[in-house]
Amino acid sequence: MTWFAHHIFILPTQDVLKIVADDPVLSEKSYWVRNLSDHKWPDPESQHTLPLNGLLVVRPVGDPDGHYAFWYGGSESIISWFAFRGTDDVKLDILPKQLHKENPDFNLADYPPIPFLKWLKSLSAATKTTIAYYHCTMWGGDVEIEYSWVFKPNEIAYSFVSSDQNATKLTEYCPDRPEEVRIGDVLMETMKHFGLNLPTPYFALHTRGFPWHKIQI
């Protein structure tokens, strides 16, 4: 599996596909995953499907000066999350500082800037589709930091807490109720909002040899 994942996941509709395809920055690193027929699964239990119309993935998106930039080939290989800004009138209900307090070993700069999250929320509302930002860093097979923001366009966010042989735990953030620490996997919970129930944490799109070059929009 990949060491790093910095993705925007989008449930594709004609409106959002046109917006992404017409944007010179987004279109260069946007991929429409429509089937997994050629994927070699490690075991039958890990095999999963895709949403009905596939999944649109924009990657990698993050801080070009982040420590992970080298893995993608340098800062010029990353779409900067500073390049996208929502308008001031967009209200963000879940703030980066809320998730950051769960990971004091990391800096607030490891979380997306508020203007970027506002842009995602406004894009979700304008295109009436589900959009998520997913960020994961692993080392030696262990998760160091993992979180996601999901916009439908209402917000929900997840942050990795811990994992051992018994269970994986996350914190769930919703605007209308207190934060909840519970058993769950960040990626699996995120994909549920796209109508995709992963049977295990294995995700074909996060394998090292996934053929992104074949499916660029």
The model's pLDDT over 95-106, given as tens digits with 9 standing for 90+, comes to 999 999 877 778
pLDDT band at 133 (very low <50, low <70, confident <90, very high): very high
Establish how many alpha carbons lie within 13 A of residue 62's alpha carbon, considering only the half-sphere containing its beta carbon: 28
Q: CA-CA distances (angstroms) from residue 73 to 9, 61, 65, 212?
A: 21, 13, 12, 15
| 163 vs 185: CA distance, rounded Å | 9
The torsion angles phi and psi of 74, rounded to 5 degrees, stand at 110, 165
Claim: this prediction has a pTM higher than 0.75? yes
Decide: 5 and 135 in contact? Cβ < 8 Å: yes
- Three-state DSSP at 126 gives helix
CA angle at residue 67 from 62 to 72, to 5 degrees? 65
119 contacts: CB under 8 Å, gap ≥ 6: 84, 85, 86
pLDDT tens digits for 73-95?
A: 888 889 999 999 999 999 999 99
Whole-number mean pLDDT of the chain? 92
Q: Is 65 helix (H, G, I), strand (E, B) or coil?
A: coil
